Amino acid sequence: MPSVLITGASAGIGLELARVFAAAGYDLILTARDQVRLEKLAADLKPAAVRVIAQDLSLAGAAEEIHRLAPKVDVLVNNAGFGVYGKFADNSLSQELNMIQLNVAALVALTKLYLPGMIAARSGRIMNVASTAAFQPGPLMAIYFATKAFVLSFSEAIANELEGTGVTVTALCPGPTATEFQERGKMQDSGLVKGKKMMTARTVAEAGYQGLMAGKTIVIPGLQNKLMVESLRISPRSVVTKVVRRMQAPK
């Protein structure tokens, strides 16, 4: 059976991706910080073959430990990540550095570690979970938006480098999605999410899986999100930044 490693698999989009890959017949390697939640998910996914590895990817060396325990996979899904809401000057430095470590450094490390084996096998797929936030500056979530811009740019660049190798790279760019992300980032009062009907994690996961299997470089689930991203391409950055600030402001 082909195998998939999914980070941040204990909740939200990662959990739903685990269910989608299990239904497609994959052996799963699931990682997140919470051992108990991972084991419960593994039990729920039976009869699929599931291995859990509890690791906190915001800590240095965690990516290398995961690779040591699971040195070969057919698909890598870099989903783990979190956001912090509020003005940059007011937010905790340690929390934002942990965010950069998880959203950027760990993603790069896992990609670097697994890519040589995929290239050697001339087969493999990598999904990096970015966001529609990647297409614009994000006042009141400045670091989060910047990390997702990195993920998108990085994914597009290496997708180009890997053409002809048998390995594809897909950046999944969902808009606001109904998960634990908002609670963890303390953004329940943000105008982007408060009172808004958000896409389900299952819908995002299914769109991401289909795009990954089709070899697409960028997947933006939902027509409204696609139209929003297209409008950003033709709008002045100064205007976009002001609009995002208004949308993010507490309601």
pLDDT tens, N- to C-terminus, the chain (251 residues): 999 999 999 999 999 999 999 999 999 999 999 999 999 999 999 999 999 999 999 999 999 999 999 999 999 999 999 999 999 999 999 999 999 999 999 999 999 999 999 999 999 999 999 999 999 999 999 999 999 999 999 999 999 999 999 999 999 999 999 886 766 556 666 666 666 678 999 999 999 999 999 999 999 999 999 999 999 999 999 999 999 999 999 87
144 catalytic residue (yes or no) = yes
Q: Please provide residue 125's backbone torsions phi and psi, each rounded to the nearest 5 degrees.
A: -135, 140
**Long-range contacts: 228-234, Cβ < 8 Å, 24+?**
228/132, 228/175, 229/132, 229/135, 229/173, 232/135, 232/136, 233/135
- Do residues 237 and 52 make contact, with C-beta atoms less than 8 angstroms apart? no
CA distances from 196 to 20, 87, 173, 232 (A): 26, 22, 18, 21
Q: Of these residues, 26, 85, 114, 144, which one is catalytic?
A: 144
Select from 3.30.1380.10, 3.30.360.10, 3.40.50.720, 3.30.470.20 the CATH code of 3-248: 3.40.50.720
In DSSP notation, 2-69 reads -EEEEESTTSHHHHHHHHHHHHTT-EEEEEES-HHHHHHHHHHTTTS-EEEEE--TTSTTHHHHHHHH
